[in-house]
Amino acid sequence: MTMTSKVSYSVQNFNSDLEREIQRLYLQAQIMWKQESRNLFWFGLQDGMSVLELGSGPGFITEKLLSLLPKISITAIDTDPFMIDYCQQRLRNYIGNRLNISCCASIFNTGLPDNSFDFAIARLVFQHIPNPVDAAKEIRRVLKPGGKLVITDHDDEIFFIHEPPVPEYQIMSEKMRLAMATRNGNRRIGRQLWRILRDAGFQNQDLEIIVSHSDDQGLEIFTKVIDPELFKSVVKQGWATEQEMQNYLRAHDEFISSPEPLMLLAWLMASGEKP
């Protein structure tokens, strides 16, 4: 699978190397967990529920859920055999007990029975798929009546603030958005989440913004989650020039050495209920 294939996200190719990307996903799971978990409860997650996690990746969120809620059971699905294998290795103590991992089911066709889950979570996967309404319909099918879907995802225009501002970041980010759009990715999916849920037949939708920032968590974790290396693939694919990349790296260094740099990251969380 290469960056030029029609796959918006591939762990092997999204960053400069696989280990770096896994580490980035790990930190990305830490950075917003306080706010995310708070909202999951607000949206109705409770201990003892049967939970479906779609696009579970390496299982960092799966693990957090399993340890936070000792009586939930989780079915985790992902299309990438590497991710499934990685998750199976890490969470082997839970498998067959409270965790069921399904290789390699898609969000469009989970192969799971109708009306079988209380709660479904799709974190940072809707931005990587075509036809999001079809995916949400499939999730609605497998939820029990009254069951909830929560989608946590990204929208470029509210995603990231630097203070002092770094316009060179915005330039690279826009090139990344365009590059991903050619592979069925949508880095403006956040604004569409409510309508996706509505059009897939969910009711009682809710939409929240969650925020994490470096004054709370320190700058280092943010520089690893918004890893400048991510933009190298955009240059490799011809969407940005070497010069633009150099300009960004220089601006990033200047930002880091500015007197009181601040990074602030925001995602959207949308929930809907199956009638």
Ligand X SMILES: C[S@@+](CC[C@H](N)C(=O)[O-])C[C@H]1O[C@@H](n2cnc3c(N)ncnc32)[C@H](O)[C@@H]1O
Residue 115 is inside which H or E element, if any? none
State the minimum distance, in angstroms, from the CB of residue 250 to ligand X. 28
Give whichever of 128 and 162 is closer to ligand X, judged by the CB atom: 128
Contacts to ligand X from residues 6-25, by CB under 6 A: 9, 25
Our finding on whether 124 is near ligand X (CB under 6 A) is yes
Our finding on whether 166 is near ligand X (CB under 6 A) is no
Our finding on whether 149 is near ligand X (CB under 6 A) is no
Q: How many residues bind to ligand X according to rule CB under 6 A?
A: 22
Do residues 24 and 47 make contact, with C-beta atoms less than 8 angstroms apart? no
The only residue of 32, 39, 120, 128 in contact with ligand X, by rule CB under 6 A:
128
Our finding on whether 129 is near ligand X (CB under 6 A) is yes
Our finding on whether 155 is near ligand X (CB under 6 A) is no
Give whichever of 9 and 94 is closer to ligand X, judged by the CB atom: 9
Which pairs with CB-CB distance under 8 Å and at least 24 residues apart come from 164-170? 164/255, 164/258, 164/261, 166/248, 166/251, 166/252, 166/255, 167/251, 168/244, 168/247, 168/248, 168/250, 168/251, 168/252, 169/226, 169/248, 169/251, 169/252
Following CA atoms 33, 135, 54, 226 in sequence, which dihedral angle do they give, to the nearest 10 degrees? -50
State the minimum distance, in angstroms, from the CB of residue 216 to ligand X. 20
Give the whole-angstrom CA distance, residue 169 versus residue 253.
Answer: 12
Residue 266 is inside which H or E element, if any? strand 262-273
Give whichever of 51 and 54 is closer to ligand X, judged by the CB atom: 54
Contacts to ligand X from residues 32-91, by CB under 6 A: 54-57, 60-61, 77-80, 83
State the minimum distance, in angstroms, from the CB of residue 24 to ligand X. 9
Residue showing the smallest CB distance to ligand X in the complex: 57
Q: Which of 8, 5, 2 is nearest to 178 (CA)?
A: 8
Our finding on whether 107 is near ligand X (CB under 6 A) is yes
Q: Can you give the binding site for ligand X, defined by CB under 6 A?
A: 9, 25, 29, 54-57, 60-61, 77-80, 83, 106-108, 123-125, 128-129
